[in-house]
Amino acid sequence: MKAGFPHMGDVWLPMVAILRGVGVEPVVPPPYSKKTLSLGVRYSPEGVCIPFKLTLGSMIEALDLGADVIIMAAGPGLCRFGYYAKIQERVLQEQGYKFDMVTTELFEGKFIGVSRFIKRLSGGASMATVYSAVRLGLKKIGALDDIERAVHKVRPLEAVQGTATKIFDEARHALDEASNARSVDLVKADFFRRLDAVERNPSADPLKVGVIGEFYVVLEPFSNMDVEIELGKLGVEVHRTTFVSEWTKFSLFLSMLGMTEKGKLHKAAMPYLKRDVGGDGWETVGEVAYHAGHYDGLVHLAPFTCMPEIVAKNIIPSMKEQIPLLTIICDEQMGRAGMLTRLEAFVDLLRRRRDAQRKAGALAHAAAR
Amino acid sequence: MDVFLGIDVGSVTTKCAVLDDKDNLLFSLYTRTRGQPITMVQHGLKQVTEHLPPGARVAGVGTTGSARYLAGVIAGADVVKNEITAHAVAALHYVPGVQTIMEIGGQDSKIIIIRDGVVVDFGMNTVCAAGTGSFLDQQASRLALAIEDFGPRALESQTPVRIAGRCTVFAESDMIHKQQMGHRVEDILYGLCEALVRNYLNNIALGKEILPPVVFQGGVAFNKGIVRAFEESLKTKVEVPPHHEVMGAIGAALLAKEDTQRRSASSQFKGFEVADVNYKTSSFECKSCANVCEIAQIFVGSKVVARWGGRCDMWERTSAAAK
């Protein structure tokens, strides 16, 4: 059996570790490219969101590499993403592909359910083997996410642009090679050291911007045109709550105590939205309320035609927490030049706004003395 | 005397502005880009040399507009800025208390919200050119009307007709329908002005608080019909500043001055000789990965002066290294 899956950010890293760990051969499709997108668009309904089109294209590329099983997230309690696996299975079968679609309710966060699913997939691996494979997979993505958080801090400071991004790419590769928990720890420590050693631009004065919105377009740089790298180039320290390792943690007992990031966001959203509206609409409203006082601005990413994000977008202007916010609609029709112009203008706005605030602060300080 | 040069290369028009060290406008130029941004920048520079006072020295250059990077390479810009910032800086210079800037150009339109002299929010049209200068241009020529006569003629309207404004395709067929029914040209023209304003306020300006003073700039602000339609719809005075059509270029010049003075560095300006340099452009598909990006390159002779267009910065880096 050869198991393939569509890309979403760095989900491939824990997936490969888990599949290898239980003795299933993983098929990793090539990174997203224009080719993936055109494959996806060709077989997709026009009005469907970009995650559908990209994942479909990625599945086709995995099948063409010989995968006979496709793993895809699915399940109720989401937005229409919950039904995508079923539709994509039909679309691909109509194109003559022979394969089994295996869906996981990973998003539901049932740790035990996921383990059972992997056991079923492996066809007879012991529960202990499954458990240690999942442990290693989660450890790898946890390490990569920690490194990424550090990369976000280094990008606006680096003397030579692109250094941190290059190190980050190498970290992915090194973590993929790591075969046990101890080597994951070593790789992580090594890359933290390398990021610390990156030559800094002494005059850098980074702005803090939160990246929020629908999880797929937030996590997949191809779908958001590398918005985080571009922000880094413009001298912005990116902050984000959505990480792959965050939503795997969701299942653990902390969420029952309301101590996860998600729990905090829901609480912050309460004055404006009291319930889940599918997708990440609730979290988006919560992030605006929760971060308004801490960041210079927010970049809100939403797929074109995404209902939950449209709901959130319409709530935001009426909130009492005010923070500059730029919404970017992610779609295959989106032009890179238009996005960069908006990002530049937004960062200019934030910088001039902060300068004015600092000046006012200095004046008030002088007056008080 | 030190002067500062601003160049704004938009999709439809190319604008140049020269300011003296007291921010007075010495010279401005407004021409059509005609799909040849390099030639028009060179043409603009030529015009500038002919109109500069004797003894003037270019102490800073700023570029803006959709071809700002290209213009920046040609002229040797100290600042390459997006249109939002450039327009805001210029409007604040002429109308210090401004709270709302509406700008409608050839192929895009924007709204900029300013509070206490700082930009706090902005919007740009995203997917369609309905309600921008190009469409007005096209409709004027369909009615065999010079674009300059559009505004005055629209103001003659007594009973404007309602034109569908959401999309240029619908607007055009609706206009033809109204014209074939026998409605007067001026009523159709003013109806179109109202449709454009409705479209602007319902899309770009949606959810934005439009407070006075409201400044209207960009090429379309020439059109008196649009100005009146805005005033009627917003129920407030809409101010069209002097030199509204070259505000982007003025903003770029002001930013260049700010930048060179802050860095106390000399200008990167390549001199007016570049007007006579023979630039060549070409493009190719990069085959290094499956993205197959289209890379555009600009040559002087056989030397590459700039490359861009990739998803990664591979080609930009190689051209920077070649310099």
Cβ-contact A149, A33 below 8 angstroms: no
Record: contact A341-B126, CB cut-off 8 A: no
Q: Where exactly are the structural domains of chain B?
A: 2-87+247-276, 96-240, 279-322
Residue A332: inside a domain: yes
- At A133-172, the pLDDT tens digits run 888 999 999 999 999 999 999 999 999 989 999 999 999 9
Query: Which fold does the domain B2-87+247-276 belong to in CATH?
Result: Nucleotidyltransferase; domain 5 (3.30.420)
Which residues, 6 or more positions from A106, have their beta carbon under 8 angstroms from its beta carbon? A73, A114, A248
Q: Does A215 share its domain with A346? A: yes
Residue A9: inside a domain: yes
Q: What is the pTM of this model?
A: 0.89
Chain A positions touching B313 (Cβ under 8 A) are 161-162
pLDDT reported for residue A49: 93
Q: Does A55 share its domain with A105? A: yes
Residue A133: inside a domain: no
Interface test with B, best of A341, A353, A355 (most B CBs within 10 A): A341
pLDDT reported for residue B12: 83
Q: Name which of B81, B83, B291 is nearest A34 (Cβ-Cβ).
A: B291
Q: Does A266 share its domain with A334? A: yes
Domains B2-87+247-276 and B96-240 share a fold: yes
What is the distance between the terminal CA atoms of chain B, rounded to a whole angstrom? 31
Q: Does residue B194 register a pLDDT over 80?
A: yes
Chain A positions touching B292 (Cβ under 8 A) are 33-35
In angstroms, the CA A250 to CA A258 distance is: 10
Q: Does A227 share its domain with A365? A: yes
In angstroms, the CA A83 to CA B115 distance is: 45
Residue A50: inside a domain: yes
Give the total number of structural domains in chain A: 3
pLDDT reported for residue B106: 78
Residue A136: inside a domain: no
Q: Does residue A61 register a pLDDT over 60?
A: yes
Q: Does residue B173 register a pLDDT over 50?
A: yes
- At B10-52, the pLDDT tens digits run 888 899 999 998 999 999 999 988 888 899 999 999 999 999 8
Q: A198 or B322: which carries more pLDDT confidence?
A: A198
- At A235-279, the pLDDT tens digits run 999 999 888 887 666 544 444 455 567 788 888 999 999 988 888
- At A323-365, the pLDDT tens digits run 999 999 999 888 888 889 999 999 999 999 999 889 888 888 8
pLDDT reported for residue A113: 62
Tokens of A216: 């797929």
Record: contact B83-A36, CB cut-off 8 A: no
Query: What is the rounded average pLDDT of the residues A72-84?
Result: 78
Query: What is the rounded average pLDDT of the residues B179-183?
Result: 89
Query: What is the rounded average pLDDT of the residues B235-250?
Result: 94
Q: A253 or B168: which carries more pLDDT confidence?
A: B168
**Residue B168 binned pLDDT confidence (cut-offs 50, 70, 90):** confident
Give the domain CATH number at A26: 3.40.50
Closest alpha carbon to B200 in B84, B104, B92, B73: B104
Q: Does A109 share its domain with A35? A: yes
Winning range, highest mean pLDDT, from A169-178, B186-195, B304-313? A169-178
**Residue B170 binned pLDDT confidence (cut-offs 50, 70, 90):** confident
Chain B positions touching A356 (Cβ under 8 A) are 116-118
Give me the percent of chain A exceeding a pLDDT of 90.
Answer: 66
- E strands, chain A, are 2-4, 25-27, 69-73, 100-104, 207-213, 236-239, 297-303, 325-330
Q: Name which of A31, A35, A348 is nearest B85 (Cβ-Cβ).
A: A348
Record: contact A353-B311, CB cut-off 8 A: no
Chain A positions touching B82 (Cβ under 8 A) are 341, 344-345, 348
Residue A132: inside a domain: no
Q: Name which of A35, A348, A353 is nearest B82 (Cβ-Cβ).
A: A348
Q: Does A345 share its domain with A210? A: yes
Q: B152 or B207: which carries more pLDDT confidence?
A: B152
Query: What is the rounded average pLDDT of the residues A105-130?
Result: 70
- E strands, B46-197, are 57-64, 79-80, 100-104, 109-115, 118-124
Phi, psi angles (nearest 5°) of residue B210:
-90, 105
Chain A positions touching B121 (Cβ under 8 A) are 324, 349
Average pLDDT, chain A: 89
State ipTM. Answer: 0.85
Residue A131: inside a domain: no
Residue range of the domain that includes A279 = 206-369
The answer to which of A57-61, A79-83, A173-177, B149-153 has the lowest mean pLDDT is: A79-83
Q: Does residue B268 register a pLDDT over 50?
A: yes
Q: Does residue A114 register a pLDDT over 90?
A: no
pLDDT reported for residue A259: 59
Q: Name which of B121, B313, B317 is nearest A324 (Cβ-Cβ).
A: B121
Give the residue on B whose Cα is nearest the Cα of A31: B290
- Any A CB within 8 A of B311 CB: yes
Q: Does A189 share its domain with A212? A: no
Kindly report the CATH number that applies to the domain delimited by B96-240: 3.30.420.40
